[in-house]
Chain A
Amino acid sequence: MDAFASLAGGFQTALSPENLIFAFFGVLLGTVIGMLPGIGPINGIAILIPITFALDINPTTMMILFAGIYYGSQYGNSISAILLNVPGTASSVATTLDGYEMSKRGRAGPALAMAAIASFVGGTLAIFGLAFLAPLLAQWAIRFGPAEYFVLIVFTFTTVSALTGKHFLKGLIATGIGLMLSLVGLDPGTGAQRFTFGLLPLFDGIDFVSATIGLFAVAEVFLLLELTKPGTEVRAKVGRAMISAKEFAQSFWVMIRSAVSGFLVGVLPGAGATIAAFLAYANEQRWAGKSGTFGEGDIRGVAAPEAANNAAVSGALIPLLTLGVPGSGTTAVILAALLSLNLNPGPLFISQQPDLFWGLVASMYIGNVMLLILNLPLIGLFIRLLLIPRWVLVPGVAVIGYVAVYSVNSSVFDLMVMTGLGVLGYLMRKMNVPVAPVILALVLGPMMETNLRRALSLAQGDWQVVFGSGITWVLWAMVAGSILLPVLTRRSPVAALGAAAAKREDDDAPTRSD
């Protein structure tokens, strides 16, 4: 079959020494970033963007590196979830429920091993989905014109607003703030100055690296400063990271089911790894019924969310690569990086850049094997990193963020934008306003406007063009659904997943460490 031939070609790309090194570097960094509270994949990728540009590495290698960080972080976040009850990123909040219980009962070793194996199963199964579903979706999306793109982006905004955070209304406000920020700069259509206040550095708009590091990393520094508790300690004795054959057999179908559901949830905009993990946990809890000891250290309660959140990450790459419309903060940052290299992901992307797509897919298989090795025999090395005190770690993250932002344009102005948005991000997180929609709107805002204006100019100003095709009607119905569901149920779908879900924050934001 065609896909297999393409995949073979992909392995040729992925096995080049340079790509292997960057894949390894990516998954290693991803594990560390995912494990340490306060960084998260979105910051890791934003910080590396200027560095990859400076090194002038090719786009395929860059994507291999970024994807490695993204899925690698889903391995790492379970380590701190299990050992410290502190998820490295929000997507492993569900893992804390049984993972931490297990480590309190002296079973940290099996819990870590289960997390690594489930992550591997979820990750690798989802790559099949990515390899086969992405080309199909791309073929379908070829019929998308500017009007369809406009409505698709509106749909992304409404679902992300509804699904990220606790209140739909606050998600919408975050989207509005992001859209405002995206409008700063020279208008791409006419060259008119908009909201630049005559300041030269604003002509190019607000740089997404400064915005991401400000809203996520700097805001996180402020938030961590509020916590007076000294650094956390690793109390649990880990023992050997291994599970028995019985435990594996017990969790086998759990992992398969969770991987499938996690992958499908991941494809949807806004839902992402956190919701995938909670959904899988809730499903398996119901499936196990009375035979389960969920919440009291059931190993299936570790297998389900870890398989699901890894699968969701691969799913999230599908709308990014086939439509060019990412559904989360992290994938939005990856899109912005690709756009800066003049690569435009969309329906033709896979056929125009087969080396990139298939090389990426193949590298993800290789990367997952590397992660399994890093996370099983070498887990002891990573655990030591959790001993770094906060007063060493947080200033380090702040300084590296500074270097990254400064190196984009060598501009002090960018540093001030970053700091200002750090204050905004702090206030937003304090007030339960999700931050991820701001980044998404900042990246997708110009695309939404361009497509709307193009559609209207093709239709000589006739507004009905946004309802002009069957696809637009389907998309508008989806927009209506994403608005009506949270309004009618009076609570967000996230809250509906249970009390445990109330602990979650943005998918992309690093979690608070208390």
Chain B
Amino acid sequence: MSDRVAAAVLIALSLGFIWMATNIQASAFNDPLGPKWVPILVGIFLIGACLALLVRPLTTVNWPDGTTWTRLALCLAGFVAYAYLLVPIGFIVATTLAYTLFALLFRGRPIPALIAGVVFSVGSYLLFSVALDLFLPTGRIFQGWF
């Protein structure tokens, strides 16, 4: 069943992909194929492969149960929130929060998880930003503090 749903979704996506490809605008000087045709061929290829899967599904999938879905959703929310908080609250605070959330999801105990989060975020800031000179945001809310 999962195979069939995935195949159907991919076929719909491929149709949209091909439709977008036909609208690509470009003058093609000495370029017989142009920018349109490879996307169209890729779309047709994927539709063909997915039709085969739709006709003859291959595997059944053991999807996780309800509580695991909740943990997965929390984990995903953690990733998204981490990305959007990074610039406003800075690398160290955002990383502490994200690390602690992930550690809790992996069944760490709260206090050790928080301690590990602080140690890890400060340590990785020193390693990546100070020692290796990568750019990591210090945080908009801390502006003027340093």
Question: A residues touching B (Cβ–Cβ < 8 Å)?
Answer: 50-51, 54-55, 166-167, 169-170, 172-173, 176-177, 179-180, 183, 187, 189-195, 218, 221-222, 224-226, 228, 230, 389-392, 394-396, 398-400, 402-403, 406-407, 410, 412, 415-416, 419, 422-423, 427, 430-432, 449, 452-453, 456-457, 460-461
Contacts and interface: CB of A to CB of B under 8 A. Distances in A.
A173 B46 contact: yes
Given A169-B58, A195-B17, A403-B136, 17 more contacts: A55-B132, A169-B52, A176-B14, A179-B45, A179-B46, A225-B106, A226-B64, A392-B103, A394-B102, A395-B106, A402-B86, A407-B135, A410-B135, A453-B33, A456-B33, A457-B32, A460-B32
A402 B84 CA distance: 12
Q: Which 8 A-B pairs have the closest CB atoms?
A: A391-B108, A461-B32, A176-B46, A395-B102, A192-B26, A415-B83, A391-B106, A187-B35
B10 to A, nearest CB: 7
18 contacts: A51-B134, A55-B133, A166-B59, A173-B46, A189-B34, A195-B20, A225-B75, A228-B68, A230-B107, A396-B99, A399-B120, A407-B136, A416-B80, A430-B63, A432-B58, A432-B59, A452-B33, A453-B38
Contacts, number: 183
A422 B78 CA distance: 13
A416 B86 CA distance: 12
Contacts of A392: 103, 108, 116
Given A194-B35, A407-B128, A453-B31, A431 B103 contact: no
A54 B134 contact: yes
Interface string B8-26: 0010001001001100111
Given A406-B86, A415-B83, A453-B33, A169 B49 contact: yes
A394 B106 contact: yes
A416 B83 CA distance: 7
A416 B61 CA distance: 27
A392 B10 CA distance: 37
Contacts of A460: 32
B130 interface: no
A487 to B, nearest CB: 11
Contacts of B117: 395
Contact of A431 (B59, B64, B116): B59
Contacts of B46: 173, 176-177, 179-180
A416 B128 CA distance: 21
A55 B116 CA distance: 28
A191 B26 CA distance: 8
A432 B133 CA distance: 40
B126 interface: no
A460 B32 CA distance: 7
B63 to A, nearest CB: 7
B80 A183 contact: no
A173 B50 contact: yes
B99 A395 contact: yes
B49 A172 contact: yes
Given A221-B102, A225-B68, A192 B42 contact: no
